[in-house]
Structure 1
């Protein structure tokens, strides 16, 4: 919103009867603001006791739309009845505890004039024990919390009493929560709160989301509530830094540091810039190179990602808000919520891989109604120019990805059952009916419920003899409670669905905290090895009690930590937009600077082979000293291509024994065999059939190993594995050994264990994206197959070959090999 003129605000009288909305209007007018129509629509709906979902662009005023709905309800209630006793009236659920403090300041500001008796409090993992103790005695009128902290509150025996005056729940950034188990955790908590408070008003805030009706149903219940869309003209400008000489044979995997100078020029030209990268490793490298190139920026640019210590992140966020930093190199840790008005520019290093992610990051600049949000894409290799052109097209047409809601995750359910058993207890039939009101469990069957009940009561069929898995037991009235205080303490320490590899604290020998690094990375280091972390060159000294102690490095070559989850697949919406751009290129139309810059690459690709489009499935076959290569380009994203490559190799080898090496990227995949394969005749309806897809995928992959990896996460959430007491965490090796043991025991002695079934389903749905794989097969059959035999790898094939070589060569040997290949290919392209 436009900023008010500076000066002391006029005093606002307590609202007279009938003037509740006038008090809010006065507050807006004093700041020179004018409420938008969608804000007033939310206020009106909330005043009438309606729940709903607000969908509006980032930076358009969503926070005050729902917050003043809660304030208006409080003002109206104070007119109808005597002053209300102190107690919790509004719960604000945020997906990130880092956003809590910023949100708290925004909510508290108007209360000083409109509702001076109200106080906003925070309850997250960062809340001090002293503050928690104060809240145990008396909660503030408004409390900002996370799904995990809310579940922890529900585990208290007096939880219902604490929530006795709750009037409204607001779920911020619902689009970020709804597609995860944390969103399911929030659904279950809301089901309990609605049981206690039948008239509870619930509102969600959402931006950049394609399936709004599903989002509304998941939050409010099927067919319930209202949808308010904040249709204000928020301009989003997307442009691209064009490399001076885009390579015709791109080496995917370079970090784009050839674009360092243009990035420096952009940062130099603006007051404050956010430089987004897709991975924490990439952020570390870019920050280091920026400092090396501009040492005068020391203290003016900063690094921000989720593994840095909270104190470091807090300092960076405050410095950005106060306009003290020239630039911040960051990851998705700054995607959400935090209001950075001073930010003028946003740079995206590499492809965003998704339209919603790009729009979200663009909204970090111009973060106020009426201001333009601008994001500049920085390609890290030539083919990302194609993705940049596709992103511009998709953003202009607002093709935003949908987010699926998890279906019946039983690990979250059994955790919730123990939580409710701690928070006063439950009877089986009543909790079953309550759980089924949560969208994720609307199709939960009686047999599944009874299995879950048996699992928390005795550990299921195979763990019944172990007392520690008898977590809830019924009393003489059929009320299930946790029978042992020690079990209750263990459960409370394990509440939550965020699961990652065990991390180690990184500290200087003096004890100063730097952040956390995955244990798997530290385990590969020897004393004296160097690595980059937090923008510093560090020397590894020793490990003691899950802490890696370091000292400052001396400038020798450094490794960079590799965190899990680094590779994001290309979304379907972005892939389709890319194929549309390729269709125009096939007709020799190159619209926009990105397509004109990549034209030489695409022309060589067409001269040697062809281009994939929405109507054309491109296949290439070539021979080298390594063997016989097939390159196929469905443009379905990395995850789907893993499944496709494995599936096709298995189906071919089933009829004619063969061994294949594979490589995948977002555009296609390579299958390499020692013997020739008649691919042109094989790539037909039979090979690309989606019939028996599930069985064939399970047979083509090491499904047991994939399911066992996924089971580790499920076992932790379900409470089978205890991660250790504070200060005494178990190592990754211990946790993996425990989960592997459970996995084998269940497989051999409890084959009907539904957590095993869930592990397999999550592998298929989330890792291999089975539904998207099925759609890709159907689409490939629909397209016209254009098959080419080429003498050399084409510009599209070259990065796939490099991807495969990277798996078996060191960085130095890979660079030498790639350089030789490039010389040969570039010479051939000039002919």
Structure 2
């Protein structure tokens, strides 16, 4: 199938179309929906875009006169930066080919005046976000806006899939498909483990669609940065900055480098250290993360485009599809926690066909070096994570029903039929839907007495919101992104720098200095939601910590790490990482034992601090935290004891004053997969965890109003209000859908019960190696360091820990 527009434009660029691009154009011309999977930098956008353009102009040519301009395509992206990138690329095509196909942006930055103009006089294509689609549905006549829509394109679908924003997308598509049954839906996705499922969820159960995979093997060069000396007793974060000089050498060897860190705090630290030790980089290096102001981020993105920056220290804020051609090298500081994330970041470099993506892995402690071997194994064997979609997210459904009611209104039975076609709500019952409706109509079983919860009225057969105040509040609350309350950081002059979580600012005193946006700032005063600051010359300052920074290694990376232990025992043909770590493994084996891939090591060590159990499942910090509490509960049942718990990505520690008689039978009983759910409920304060989770659910469902822009409610008030609903539902309505959802999310996402169950079942089939070392081992020391840090948080714990390490080395 020829695509003349594409042929002309590609010819003018001096490009040849890839087979996957031609396949997309052919499928789109046949009226098919589908999903496209191709490496970054190979023209995924144009593979879809020229299919859209051909379809539009074919229709125009079939009409005797041009149609009145109507919205033809909705292109949805998860990030504003990516929206801008798509807008730039597609507008360039219209300009180069002198097309009358208009493309506009609608994001959180779009002014009210522009939005109103877009409503009255729509462009042919609108590039926007999931939240903005729901905002359009929440306006009068919003549904008519989509009645002539031909295409919905969801970019980076894998990124939305494993979140409630993905549920927002499923619901919006279900409505637009009913408005326009001829709608064609296309997704663009990076490689994920469940690509077929991702397609089925996006397109819906009755749309078979097509899956187009690019047959292109993107070359990735992975190199681990080794320290000069191996620390046999490593601890987290200790090594990273020690490799600063080596990272700077990498920066100097390449045109432009992105330095990825896992947290915003880490990004601030690395930026500060580079500028402090290498002041010649001033003006050539920048920082980019999600809490900085739009102005700062846009400047960095433009400077990257134009090749004016030598390096940018960043977080996941630059993970996605933005095309920075000058970037030819990526540095990953610390474990990437997941293979897909590592591949995504590697793909930021060599953003051109046939260019090799270059990524350097910088471990933050000696043991983390092994992940260099694990990542290479995972990449070469095409191991990549699945994205687990949310199901039965009733908070999002309740918000969606309000959105429709604030807009044109809806008939309940029609909407139930539509939402039941989505993956998220395929199991919804009439009774559950009725409970959602009851909560909106009269507050349900528990809240009937309160007028604020009488939100919907039946008007001419349609459920609508007639109260303007309730409608306005709802429009301000649309979305499924939740976080701690953010406080704006401003200079005395009023210049806005970005936002920091209230919980961090609350710990500071006036006059305290902290690092933010790459600057040393002194807190001057707090006015409402603004932290007023001024520049400071003080050398010492704290680094903000953000709650969003906690995530653990993925199950697939865990498999790859356990596989690396297979190589530890080989004599020949091992990777540079395993070779470098050999002295550490030799020391581990000398003091204790060295596990293989299918073995679990348990160490029981007695020190002046007490009796330490160390377990090494290699399942990630979050899973270990849950496992530790279950094991502590089971140990307490054998002999009552009080435990302190510490964990890292590789294992966990239980420390107590109580001595236990340990043998193989004892350990097998501890790790039995039987009665696990019961023991989780008994050993962990699940109710408290559910109560915290409920705050987010209550916010999304509209039970708790988060406040007006710039005047958000304080997080402690939000927690108190949500806690009140949690208590009322727990006492008077234990089957409340939102209450049940809070518990389900705790088990599924916080405790990762499924992964814990798999870990216990795997260990039941493993050999358990039991060891009683006389002192701390290379494996146990990093976990011990975690608990030591907590114990001496107000003292100079680093020098104390260094003394303990020296005793181990000299002992």
TM over 0.5: yes
Q: Is the 8 A contact 1:308 1:515 kept in 2?
A: yes
1:569 maps to which of 552, 576, 585: 552
Are 2:374 and 1:390 equivalent residues in the alignment?
A: yes
The residue aligned with 1:469 is 453
The residue aligned with 2:618 is 635
Are 2:134 and 1:151 equivalent residues in the alignment?
A: yes
2:274 maps to which of 290, 297, 303: 290
Q: Is the 8 A contact 1:614 1:783 kept in 2?
A: no
Are 2:501 and 1:518 equivalent residues in the alignment?
A: yes
The residue aligned with 1:3 is none
How far has the Cα of 1:782 moved from its partner? 0.5
The residue aligned with 1:14 is none
The residue aligned with 2:324 is 340
Q: Provide the C-alpha distance between the structure 2 equivalents of 1:253 and 1:291, rounded to a whole number of angstroms.
A: 19
The residue aligned with 1:12 is none
How far has the Cα of 1:590 moved from its partner? 6.5
The residue aligned with 1:777 is 760
2:538 maps to which of 555, 559, 563: 555
After superposition, what is the alpha-carbon deviation per residue over 1:315-368, rounded to whole angstroms, capped at 9, x for unaligned? 000000000001000000000011000001100111111110010000100011
The residue aligned with 1:167 is 150
What are the within-5 Å matches in structure 2 for residues 251-290 of structure 1? 251-254=235-238, 256-290=240-274
1:39 maps to which of 5, 14, 21: 21
Q: Provide the C-alpha distance between the structure 2 equivalents of 1:175 and 1:586, rounded to a whole number of angstroms.
A: 37
Q: Provide the C-alpha distance between the structure 1 equivalents of 2:217 and 2:717, rounded to a whole number of angstroms.
A: 54
Q: Is the 8 A contact 1:239 1:392 kept in 2?
A: no
Are 2:777 and 1:790 equivalent residues in the alignment?
A: no
The residue aligned with 1:702 is 685
Are 2:370 and 1:362 equivalent residues in the alignment?
A: no
Q: Is the 8 A contact 1:590 1:599 kept in 2?
A: no
How far has the Cα of 1:726 moved from its partner? 2.3
2:442 maps to which of 449, 458, 461: 458
CA-based RMSD: 1.4
SS at match of 2:3: helix
- Compute the TM-score of the two structures, normalised by the length of structure 2: 0.98
Are 2:504 and 1:528 equivalent residues in the alignment?
A: no
Q: Is the 8 A contact 1:20 1:76 kept in 2?
A: no
Q: Provide the C-alpha distance between the structure 1 equivalents of 2:215 and 2:661, rounded to a whole number of angstroms.
A: 55
Q: Provide the C-alpha distance between the structure 1 equivalents of 2:595 and 2:468, rounded to a whole number of angstroms.
A: 62
Are 2:716 and 1:733 equivalent residues in the alignment?
A: yes
1:248 maps to which of 226, 232, 236: 232
Q: Label 1:607 to 1:255 Cα distance change in 2 as closer, same or farther (>3 A).
A: closer
Q: Provide the C-alpha distance between the structure 1 equivalents of 2:453 and 2:789, rounded to a whole number of angstroms.
A: 45
Say which is worse superposed, 277-286 or 104-113, in terms of deviation: 104-113
Q: Provide the C-alpha distance between the structure 1 equivalents of 2:809 and 2:175, rounded to a whole number of angstroms.
A: 65
The residue aligned with 1:435 is 419
The residue aligned with 1:77 is 59
Q: Provide the C-alpha distance between the structure 1 equivalents of 2:668 and 2:51, rounded to a whole number of angstroms.
A: 56
Q: Label 1:775 to 1:71 Cα distance change in 2 as closer, same or farther (>3 A).
A: same
The residue aligned with 1:53 is 35
Gaps (5+ residues) in structure 2? none
How far has the Cα of 1:133 moved from its partner? 2.0
SS at match of 2:327: coil
What are the within-5 Å matches in structure 2 for residues 350-429 of structure 1? 350-429=334-413
How far has the Cα of 1:684 moved from its partner? 4.3
The residue aligned with 2:299 is 315
How far has the Cα of 1:811 moved from its partner? 6.2
The residue aligned with 1:504 is 487
The residue aligned with 1:747 is 730
Q: Provide the C-alpha distance between the structure 1 equivalents of 2:208 and 2:683, rounded to a whole number of angstroms.
A: 43
What are the within-5 Å matches in structure 2 for residues 152-231 of structure 1? 152-222=135-205, 224-231=208-215
Q: Is the 8 A contact 1:60 1:232 kept in 2?
A: no
Q: Is the 8 A contact 1:658 1:675 kept in 2?
A: yes
Q: Is the 8 A contact 2:239 2:366 kept in 1?
A: no
SS at match of 2:600: strand
Q: Provide the C-alpha distance between the structure 1 equivalents of 2:105 and 2:41, rounded to a whole number of angstroms.
A: 23
SS at match of 1:663: strand
The residue aligned with 2:745 is 762
Are 2:530 and 1:541 equivalent residues in the alignment?
A: no
Q: Is the 8 A contact 2:265 2:544 kept in 1?
A: yes
Q: Is the 8 A contact 1:88 1:163 kept in 2?
A: yes
After superposition, what is the alpha-carbon deviation per residue over 1:495-525, rounded to whole angstroms, capped at 9, x for unaligned? 0000000011000001011100111111111
SS at match of 1:584: helix
How far has the Cα of 1:99 moved from its partner? 1.7
After superposition, what is the alpha-carbon deviation per residue over 1:524-571, rounded to whole angstroms, capped at 9, x for unaligned? 111110000001000000000210000111224100100012232111
After superposition, what is the alpha-carbon deviation per residue over 1:739-785, rounded to whole angstroms, capped at 9, x for unaligned? 11111111122222111110011011001111110000000110011
Q: Provide the C-alpha distance between the structure 2 equivalents of 1:694 and 1:509, rounded to a whole number of angstroms.
A: 53
SS at match of 2:165: helix
Q: How many residues align?
A: 809
Q: Provide the C-alpha distance between the structure 2 equivalents of 1:556 and 1:585, rounded to a whole number of angstroms.
A: 43
Q: Provide the C-alpha distance between the structure 1 equivalents of 2:175 and 2:720, rounded to a whole number of angstroms.
A: 35
Q: Label 1:454 to 1:679 Cα distance change in 2 as closer, same or farther (>3 A).
A: farther
How far has the Cα of 1:212 moved from its partner? 0.6
Q: Provide the C-alpha distance between the structure 1 equivalents of 2:573 and 2:523, rounded to a whole number of angstroms.
A: 51
Q: Is the 8 A contact 1:255 1:282 kept in 2?
A: no
Q: Provide the C-alpha distance between the structure 2 equivalents of 1:716 and 1:679, rounded to a whole number of angstroms.
A: 48
After superposition, what is the alpha-carbon deviation per residue over 1:618-659, rounded to whole angstroms, capped at 9, x for unaligned? 111110111111111111111111111111111221232122
Q: Is the 8 A contact 2:664 2:768 kept in 1?
A: no
Q: Provide the C-alpha distance between the structure 2 equivalents of 1:425 and 1:476, rounded to a whole number of angstroms.
A: 10
